[in-house]
Amino acid sequence: MTHPLRVRALAAALALGIAVSPSTATAQTPAQITRMKATIAADEGRNIALLERLVAQNSGSLNIDGVTKVGAMMRAELEPLGFQVTWEDMRATGRAGHLVATKPGKGARILLIGHLDTVFEPSSPFQAFERKGDRAIGPGVGDDKGGMVVIIAALRAMQAAGTLKDAAITVYLTGDEEKTGTPLSTARAGLIAAGKAADYALEYEGLVVDDGRDMSTIARRGAGSWEVRTTGVTGHSSGVFSAGMGYGASYELVRILDAFRRELPEPNLTYNIGVMAGGTPATLDPTGEVASATGKTNITAAQAVARGDLRALTPEQEERVRAKMRDIVGKHLPRTTATIEFFDSYPPMAPTPGNTALLAKLNAVNRDLRLSEMPPLDPLRRGAADSGFVAADVPTLGGLGTAGSGAHAEGEWVDLASIPRQALRSAALITRLSKERARK
């Protein structure tokens, strides 16, 4: 016999248009979903106001005071939800720090990842929040302040439904996702440790909508950089190609870069040349962003330098390509030398079986909520993110933040209607995952 409370909860869920499948009973009740949905709807104005406050406070990665203030805003949201909030000071790395909120509980341990900083420093002319109907425009409104609002909206919905109190959750908000501090080993030590301690990781960068369909992120390519330096014998250009002078530094650099173009291509790999120079001399500043050279048409170049990025889908692909690049660099033209150096940044979030299984759980939630299932997005369409630092240790999903466009550019915007949709998805998914047994 069906319990009368179950019947009433089922009727309420159906009245709100929420589908109920047999799997729901093992995750959250229809009454809990109904409460989540009602809370998110009631919080609409609150969520938009929070988004506006976050965007109005500049938090460019190098704005230590601004990032710290955004962290304080998020602390004020998380502590009333029962989280113990700490601040990981990162001024030793040249950045503000990270906000870490933890709440002990039962079952699987869930890590929620977002970031406090944006690419827009105080010098940027793009500073204000603006609303046009269902569109909100502003610096970092989607990347990642909209994502942080989705996190808060989901946790508040869980609290109202009674599913937050027993959930074991860590919220990790980095303060330097857009421009990481150095050394990287210090800047990401805490996040890596949090990933090792978790059973699942959910990352709240922006949602990609493709032809009206919400897409999932089970893979993101990493991002690193490389630098090639070449030298050659300098002198009057009439001697170029001779046994005594050889080819000069510029020809050696061109040989290497053209070999990269011809010999390295493979699926899911890109390698861009960002800056280059050749002359007598040719230099690159410590940031790797400003190249300079002097010379004349009748002088063979003594030095040349180029710097670019390398984006691969898996650690194995990245190491394989690096080995090919080293081999190419080692084959010198006469009377030249060349070296290559690699710089680590964001590791890839590889498409693991664990990520695929986690997506299946999300799509089970989508079916229960009568939301469209989310196919995996082509990883070539996503940049690197903090999820890469944990994905080798824990099943991970990305792109759970707000929908929108124009990230990293003036005019960045989000669809405000995506906040309740994404918050409900997350609240239901986190609730479902929290009821699983911890595996570590």
Q: For residues 169 and 26, state if they share a domain.
A: yes
Q: For residues 52 and 152, state if they share a domain.
A: yes
Q: For residues 129 and 172, state if they share a domain.
A: yes
Sign of the four-CA dihedral 139, 140, 142, 148: negative
Nearest to 197 by CA among 158, 168, 240, 175: 168
Q: For residues 242 and 125, state if they share a domain.
A: no
Is position 63 within any domain?
yes
pLDDT at 291: 94
Is position 15 within any domain?
yes
Is position 440 within any domain?
no
Q: For residues 138 and 170, state if they share a domain.
A: yes
pLDDT at 29: 87
CA atoms within 13 A on the CB side of 5: 3
Nearest to 317 by CA among 353, 354, 351, 266: 266
Q: For residues 67 and 199, state if they share a domain.
A: yes
The domain boundary residue, chosen from 346, 366, 394 = 346
Is position 171 within any domain?
yes
Is position 8 within any domain?
yes
Q: For residues 45 and 188, state if they share a domain.
A: yes
Tell me which H or E stretch contains 305.
strand 303-311
Our count of domains for the chain comes to 2
Residue 147's domain comprises: 4-220+349-434
Is position 439 within any domain?
no
The domain boundary residue, chosen from 346, 363, 398 = 346
Q: For residues 131 and 275, state if they share a domain.
A: no
Q: For residues 44 and 176, state if they share a domain.
A: yes
Q: For residues 177 and 58, state if they share a domain.
A: yes
Q: For residues 161 and 283, state if they share a domain.
A: no
> What CATH code is carried by the domain that includes residue 244?
3.30.70.360
> What CATH code is carried by the domain that includes residue 112?
3.40.630.10
Residue 223 near residue 383 (C-beta atoms within 8 A): yes
The domain boundary residue, chosen from 318, 346, 374 = 346
Q: For residues 327 and 362, state if they share a domain.
A: no
Predicted confidence pLDDT, tens digits, the chain (440 residues): 333 333 333 333 333 333 444 343 356 789 999 999 999 999 999 999 999 999 999 999 999 999 999 999 999 999 999 999 999 999 999 999 999 999 999 999 999 999 999 999 999 999 999 999 999 999 999 999 999 999 999 999 999 999 999 999 999 999 999 999 999 999 999 999 999 999 999 999 999 999 999 999 999 999 999 999 999 999 999 999 999 999 999 999 999 999 999 999 999 999 999 999 999 999 999 888 899 999 999 999 999 999 999 999 999 999 999 999 999 999 999 999 999 999 999 999 999 999 999 999 999 999 999 999 999 999 999 989 999 999 999 999 999 999 999 999 999 999 999 999 999 999 999 999 999 999 86
